Amino acid sequence: MNVSNFISEYWYLVVFYEVFCAALSAFIARSKGRDQGNWFIMGLALGIFGVIVVLVMKRLPDELAAKNNLLLDPQHYLRSGWRVILFLVTVVVLYYLSAVVAQLTRVVPPQSFFFLFYIDVLLATFLMLKFVDKRRLTSVGFPYHGKIVKEILLGFLIGAVMIGLVGGVELVVGAIRLGLRPNLNLVLLLRNFALSFLFFGYFAMGEELLFRGYPYQALLEGMGSIGATIVMAAVFGLLHFMNPNASVFSTVNTILAGVWLSIAYLKTRTLYFPFGMHFAWNLVQSFFLSLPVSGLLTNRTIFIPTDFGPDWLTGGRYGPEAGVGTTVVMVAAILYFILEKRIKPAYPKDPSDDYAAIKERIGVGSESEAK
């Protein structure tokens, strides 16, 4: 598509983008007590610069896709590393803009701004797929097939059994003690369950989109399954190190969890299966076992923990994810998933199928890798 065709087809987006940049700059200036007119012009200029960048990118000659080109690969795709960086920048910008808008409109209290983050992750994923990769949103891990519910429920069952084993052993040996929450009635119980279900479901899907979604799948293309899994699992673990009461042991276990969930994606090439496991692990750990999840303990639980026992076993105030029980079940699950041949993609492998074709381009489970 040449420049004139681009402008004629997307002129409304260009106009909206320019007005949005200018208006947002004026809003920011107003909140900071600065001159709105100057900032309006500055936002307009920034928007024009962004459009120019897009137009220049559209005119890049095919020769730039040479094998040694640092920007494009031989198939004329933006290289995976640049796409990951662009995705992260997009998330940061969207989060900043959404927080500014939320603060100005006061539709979301400041303490709840973090809930906007994963909405921004989803929006950044859509933008990258639509305008950079030229793919549908479903191709990031949400194909339509007849086994969606089965994959989610199977993942949920596996995740629940795994954390149930960890917490169950700790209860049986007396490493943790739980007392029934006082004044708990049926209405309160159902309310707490519904809130926990929505909360942990939202954050499980958000984390899967971030850590097993677009950036992970872009790294798969550039680094292969082993390198991409190690990198994203390490990032997953290190970010959780910032949680309350985190330790080196908890970080190692969280890295193992990142490997576990990544392999679940690699086996099915959808996000349904790892989402189900991630969701169940957190929900059962918090609501039913009433234990901290990655250092965070809520009051929407059935019980109140009164004793956490030795930290090496129970994880102490961080929760089971910092204990040896989690290490054992994670290593066992990783080995099982690697060796199990019955867990495989449920969508059609017909090359004419758009979703299957694009996943083969990413390289996960390709014929060359399978050999």
pLDDT digits (tens, 9 = 90+) for 153-193: 999 999 999 999 999 999 999 899 888 988 889 999 999 99
Mean pLDDT, the chain, rounded, equals: 83
pTM metric for this prediction = 0.79
- Report the C-alpha gap between 271 and 245 in whole angstroms: 29
> What is the arithmetic mean of pLDDT over 95-104?
82
- Report the C-alpha gap between 131 and 142 in whole angstroms: 18
Tokens of 367: 């014929």
The answer to whether the beta carbons of residues 170 and 176 sit under 8 Å apart is yes
E-assigned strand segments in the chain: 177-180, 303-307
Confidence of residue 105 (pLDDT cuts 50, 70, 90): confident
The answer to whether the beta carbons of residues 282 and 204 sit under 8 Å apart is yes
Instruction: Among 53-57, 76-80, 140-144, 251-255, name the most confident range.
Output: 251-255
- Report the C-alpha gap between 152 and 150 in whole angstroms: 6
Q: Which positions ≥6 away from 207 have C-beta within 8 Å?
A: 118, 236, 278
First to last CA, the chain: 38
